[in-house]
A and B are shown apart, each in its own frame.
Chain A
Amino acid sequence: MVKEKQNNQPEKSPAKKSVKNAIKKSGKTSDQKKKALKKSGNKKTDASTGERKYVLDSVLVINNAQTIHGQLTALINAKQNIVIDASSVEMADTSILQLLLSFVKKIHTQNLKVRWENPSHELLSRAEMLDLKERLGLAGS
C-alpha cells in the first residue's frame, strides 16, 4: 500500500494541468469560450493586423510537447504573423524551447514574423542558458 502525506495543498501534476487546458483549446474557439478560458494557449484572430496570438501556459514540459506541436502546426497553417504571449511562463524545458525554435524557423521560411509579448523572466533566462535567446527572437527583451 502506498503511504501518502500531504504537506501543502495537493498540486495537480503539471502534465495533467496543461493537458487539461489543451483539451479545452482544441478546435475553433468562440468568443464565449475565449472568456471562459484562462490563459491557456488559445488563439485569437486579430483581423486588422493579420496576427495570430498564441498564449503559452505557465508550465511547459515535454509531456505536452506533442500537443503544443499540434497547436503550433495549426498556427503555421494559418499563414499569418504570430504573437506569442509568454507572460505566464514559469517553467519551460529544453524540449519546448527546441520546439519553439523549430517553429520560429518555420514561420520565417514562410516570410512571416514572430513577435513575443511580455516574455517572462523565466523564459528569457532559460533561453539564454541554452543559447536560444537570439535564435528565438527574444534578444533585446
Chain B
Amino acid sequence: MDSDINIDMSQFHEVFFEECAEGIEIMETGLLNLTDQSDSEVINTIFRAAHSIKGGGGTFGFAEVSDFTHGMETILDEMRNARLGVAPEVVQLLLTAVDCLREMVQCCKLGEPFNEEVISDLKSKMNECAQHAEQGAPKQDTVVSDSAAEDTSITTWHISFNPHENLFFTGNDPFRLIKELHTLGELNIDVNSERLPDFSEMDAQNCYLGWDMELRGNILEEQIDEVFAWVEGYCELEIRNAEDRRKEEYDRREQDRRADEPEARRRKGDKSVSLSQESTSIRVGIDKVDGLVNLVGELVITQSILSQVCIDLGLDQAERLSDSLAQLERNTRDLQEQTMSIRMLPVDFAFQRLPRIVHDLSRTLGKKIDLKFSGETTELDKTVLEKIGDPLMHLVRNAVDHGIEAPAQRIASGKSETGLINISAYHQGGNIIIEISDDGAGLNTEKILNKAIERGLVDSAEELTDAQVQNLIFSAGFSTAEQITDVSGRGVGMDVVKRNMTDLGGMVDVASRPGKGSKFTIRLPLTVAILEGQMVRVANQIFIIPLLSIIESIQISSEQINVVAGASELYHYRDEYISVVRMHELFDIQKQEDDEIRLLVVIDVGGRRLGLLVNDVVGQQQVVIKSLKKNFRDVPGVAGATVLGNGSVALIIDPQGIAQNYKSVEAS
C-alpha cells in the first residue's frame, strides 16, 4: 500500500521457532494430562498454544505449519465448546499431530522438505475428527455479498451515515471514514445537524451529526462496506445504488446483535489477577554468555597470578595489599559463581520428553507404568543439560522395556499392576545427582556375567561382586541387539550412555536387586568450565586431577608395588589389587635424583580403581578449564589445561582416558 517498508521477516524466525518449541511442549504436556471434559483450563491452554503457532506460522511465512496447526486448532475448539468429547483416540490423534508438527518445525528450521504423506494423512484424519463434532454454531460467518455485479462501469452510491451518539466511545471518528471514502472516488457530502442540541444541553462527547453523501466511481459495494465495517452497529447506515434503489438496513442487523448477550464480560477481573510470575527476563544469545564466562575465567587466572606475584615479591606482609588481594579473590569467585549460574537451568528441561516416551512405549508393550519426578527444579549447566537428554531417554526406555514387568507378571509376584519409575534430581557437593529407579524385575546378574564372559570382557575365573557384575552392562561391546530397541537407528547402548556421562566429567552406575528393581545413578558436575582440582607434582611439572575422581592419596614405598608378569604393576589397596600408573613414564618426564616418587593418588573411574604415582601433592584449587582442542589433537588422558598462579601451564588429567590404557583388573 502506501508504505514501502521492506522488513525482513527472517530476523523473527528464530524467536518464532523457539515459541513453537515451547508451544509444542505445552500441547504435549497438556494432552498427556487431559483426562476428561471438565479440564477446561487444560483444553484452553492447549488451544491457545495451537492458535498461537497457527497465527505465527501465517505471519512469518510458514503456511504449511499454519495450515496444519489449524486442523489441530479446530478439533481443540470443538473440545472447548463441548461439541467434541475428550476421547482417548482423539487425544492420541492430537499427540501424533504434535509429533508431526514438531518435525515440520524442525524441517522449517533446517530448510528440509516436509514428509508430505504423513502430513496430508494426518490432516484428513483431523478433518474427519472435526466433522464428527456436533454441528452447533454456524461455521464461518462469511458475509454473503449480493452485489455480484462485476461492474466495470461507474456507479453512483448514495450513502446516508448517521452515527449513534456513542460512536466516539469506540475511538472511531467520522472524519477518518469520510477521508477513506474520498480515496474510493468522487465524494459529495452534506452534513446533517438536525440532531445537534442546544449548546448548553449538548454532551461534548456525544456525536450528533450525520452526513449524506454521494460517491461516484468504479466502486463495489463491498468496498464501501469495508470502510464502515468497524462502525457497524454504532450508526444508521444506508447504502443505495443510485441506479438500483436497493436498500441495505444496517440498523436491523444491529438490533439483532443487541439481542445477543455478548460474552465480552465472561472472563472478569476476579480471575487470577496474578501479575506474570516471572519478574523480568531477557533473551540472551548463548554465545554472549559463554563469552562472559570465558572472560571471567581469564579474570580468575589473572587474579590468581596477581596473588602469587604478591607473595613472590614478599609483599604479602603488606597488610593492606594482601587484604585487598584477598578481597579481590572473593569478588572474583563471586563473580564467577554468578556468571556460571547464568548458564544454569532447571533439569526438568531434560525431563520433558520422558512422559511421552513412557506413555507411548508402555502402551505399545501393554504395560502400566507411573512416572514420577522430584527435584525437577534442581539446576545445572545448560551444556550439560542439553547432553543428558538422550542418555536419560535411553535409561528410561530401558526401564520400561526391560525393567518393569508385564502387569500379569507383576501381579503374580505380588506387586501392584502398575509399575513405578521414579526420577529424582538433587545437588550433592559440587555435583548434580540424577537417580532413575524402577520397581521392576531388576538385573539378572547371572545372565550379565555369562554374557560378559562370552564376549571376553571378563575372565571366567574372576571373582566379582554383584555390583561389579551389574555395572558390566556399561562396558563397551556388551550391548546386544536385544537391548537396542531404539527405532531412531542411532547406535545406543549402555556404553554410549556411560561415555556421554564421562565426557561431561561425570559418571553413571547401577545398583539392582533381583525381583525388586534397579536404580541408575548419574553424577554430573554442575559446571563444565571450572573444576575442583588436586594439584600434583610430577618432577617439575604440575598436573591437575579432578577432585571428583580421587578417593584418597597415600604415601607408599616402592616395595609395596608388585610387578606382575613383567607387565602391569599392582598395589594392594584395601581388598583389591589396583593398577599403578607411573605418571613420569606415561608423560615421558625425566625423573630427578633424590626426588622420591612416593605418592599414590587412588582414583575411581566408573567403579574401577587406579593409582597414579606422583612425587607429591601440592594443593587443591578451583581451576578454569581451558580447552586445547583448538590447537592440539586430542590426547587421551588429557582433558585440557589451565594456567596457574605462577603463570605456568598445568595439564588437566582425564581419568577415563588414562584408565583405558590400563584395562582389566588383573588378579590372581
Contact = CB atoms under 8 A, between A and B. Distances in A.
A105 B209 CA distance: 14
B168 A130 contact: no
Nearest to A103: B199
Contacts of B191: 130-132, 135
Given A130-B178, A131-B211, A66 B204 contact: yes
B408 interface: no
B168 A95 contact: yes
A66 B202 CA distance: 10
A98 B200 CA distance: 13
A102 interface: yes
Contacts of B208: 98
B173 interface: yes
A13 to B, nearest CB: 14
B518 to A, nearest CB: 47
Interface residues of A, number: 25
Contacts of B174: 94, 130
A98 B205 CA distance: 10
Contacts, number: 71
A93 interface: yes
B175 interface: yes
A131 B199 contact: no
B174 to A, nearest CB: 5
Contacts of A105: 196, 199
Given A1-B279, A101-B193, A135-B193, A129 B175 contact: yes
Contacts of B179: 129
Given A130-B191, A131-B211, A65 B204 contact: yes
Interface in A52-105: 62, 65-66, 68-69, 72-73, 76, 93-95, 98-99, 101-103, 105
B178 A129 contact: yes
Nearest to A62: B168
B585 interface: no
A94 B173 contact: yes
A69 B204 contact: yes
Contacts of A98: 196, 207-209
Interface string B424-449: 00000000000000000000000000
Contact of A66 (B168, B189, B197, B205): B205
B280 interface: yes
B204 A99 contact: yes
A76 B199 CA distance: 10
A76 B200 CA distance: 10
Interface in B215-246: none
A129 B178 CA distance: 7
Nearest to A68: B204
B400 to A, nearest CB: 43
Given A72-B199, A101-B196, A131-B190, A95 B279 contact: no
Contacts of B196: 98, 101-102, 105
Interface of A is mostly: helix
Most buried by A among B189, B193, B197, B279: B193
B276 A1 contact: yes
A126 interface: yes
A4 to B, nearest CB: 12
A98 B175 CA distance: 11
Contacts of B205: 62, 65-66, 95
A105 B211 CA distance: 18
Contacts of A62: 168, 204-205
Most buried by B among A93, A102, A105, A135: A102
B151 interface: no
B8 interface: no
Interface string B141-175: 00000000000000000000000000010000111
A106 interface: yes
B2 interface: no
Contacts of A132: 191
B30 to A, nearest CB: 26
B198 interface: yes
Contacts of A94: 168, 173-175, 207, 209
Contacts of A95: 168, 173, 204-205, 207
B274 to A, nearest CB: 14
Contacts of A101: 193, 196, 209
Nearest to B182: A129
Interface string A29-49: 000000000000000000000
Contacts of B182: 129
Interface string A113-141: 00000000000001001111001000000
Contacts of B202: 69, 99, 102
A68 to B, nearest CB: 7
Nearest to B174: A94
B207 A106 contact: no
Nearest to B275: A1
Most buried by A among B174, B207, B280: B174
Nearest to B167: A94
B203 to A, nearest CB: 8
A106 B207 CA distance: 18
A131 B178 CA distance: 10
Given A102-B202, A130-B189, 12 more contacts: A62-B168, A62-B205, A73-B200, A94-B168, A94-B173, A95-B205, A99-B204, A102-B196, A129-B178, A129-B179, A130-B211, A131-B191
Q: Which 10 A/B pairs are nearest by Cβ-Cβ distance?
A: A65-B204, A106-B199, A131-B191, A69-B204, A102-B199, A131-B189, A1-B280, A94-B175, A66-B204, A94-B174
10 contacts: A1-B276, A68-B204, A72-B199, A73-B199, A95-B173, A95-B205, A98-B208, A98-B209, A99-B202, A130-B175
Interface of B: 168, 173-175, 178-179, 182, 189-191, 193, 196-200, 202, 204-205, 207-209, 211, 276, 279-280
